[in-house]
Amino acid sequence: EPEVTQTPSHQVTQMGQEVILRCVPISNHLYFYWYRQILGQKVEFLVSFYNNEISEKSEIFDDQFSVERPDGSNFTLKIRSTKLEDSAMYFCASSESGRTGYTFGSGTRLTVV
Amino acid sequence: GQQLNQSPQSMFIQEGEDVSMNCTSSSIFNTWLWYKQDPGEGPVLLIALYKAGELTSNGRLTAQFGITRKDSFLNISASIPSDVGIYFCAGQMSGGSNYKLTFGKGTLLTVNP
């Protein structure tokens, strides 16, 4: 079964540092997403990406966040200057067409200290 | 923003029992999805519903898309210990090139052998 792969699985960073979370979506998928989940809470939408541009972003996705698809396979989320409240699980997801269930990756646990 | 009310928050049942959980929304969705999340993992799609009134099964799981498009339920029959986990409903109001999901807060299911 095809998978969405995320690296690293766990990252610890100092407050104010930049982090890049990496994802390899399923190869024939066209829609890409980032979600986050603060410990014990629901999964929240961050950003959607289609045709090499952002389709929609949430209020959480402020100027400190950016996404990129630098080549045909990777999809990255960058947090420019991390804050303590950025600590969460970050999930990448992809879908073949928009209106089908996504496949989520296993997530990157980001801990900001 | 759109809010999903998912209930119950948690359930403790005996192996073999049936389980029911539901989600309601103040706004309509075009698609309802049910995901299961195991600890430290990403959500895994269980069932996707695309039409109002649709009733869909996946093994011991059955889900329905409410006629009003504002609710959905998930039933698990004859529960087994590996059903333990957090179950999330998610609604999708598709349009343009954005297909973001709005998640409920989850139902934590515990199954006693």
DSSP letter at B31 equals: E
Does the beta carbon of B42 lie under 8 angstroms from any beta carbon of chain A? yes
pLDDT in tens, B32-82: 999 999 988 899 999 999 999 999 999 999 999 999 999 999 999 999 999
Q: Are A33 and A49 in contact (CB under 8 A)?
A: yes
Minimum distance, in Å, between the CA of residue B51 and any CA atom of chain A: 12
Computed from CA positions of residues A37, A42, A47, A48, in that sequence, does the dihedral angle turn out positive or negative? Answer: positive
Asked if B103 lies within 8 A of A102 by C-beta distance, the reply is no
3-state SS, residue B78: coil
Among A102, A104, A110, most B C-beta atoms within 10 A, so best to mutate, is A102
CA pair distance A104, A82, nearest whole angstrom: 23
Which tens digit of pLDDT belongs to each residue from A83-111? 999 999 999 999 988 777 789 999 999 99
Chain center to CA of B13: 18
3-state secondary structure of A86: helix
Which letter does DSSP use for residue B87 in this model?
A: E
Contact B33, B49 (CB under 8 A): yes
B43 to chain A: which residues are within 8 Å by CB? 43, 91, 104
Question: In Å, how far is A16's CA from the nearest CA of chain B?
Answer: 26
Residues of chain A with pLDDT under 50: none
Name the residue of chain A whose CA is nearest to B29's CA: A99
What's the pLDDT score for residue A97?
Answer: 82
Q: Would an 8 Å CB–CB cutoff place B45 in contact with chain A?
A: yes
**pLDDT at residue A40, rounded to an integer:** 86
* Strand segments (E) across A1-113: 5-7, 10-13, 19-24, 31-37, 44-50, 53-57, 65-68, 75-79, 88-95, 103-104, 108-112
Question: For A68-73, which contacts have Cβ atoms below 8 Å and span 24 or more sequence positions?
Answer: A69/A32, A73/A24, A73/A25, A73/A27
pLDDT of B1 > 70? The answer is no
Chain A residues closer than 8 Å to B50 by CB: 99
d(CA B36, CA B43): 5
Average per-residue pLDDT for chain B = 93
Contact with chain B for residue A81, Cβ under 8 A: no
Whether A96 and A84 have beta carbons less than 8 Å apart is answered as: no
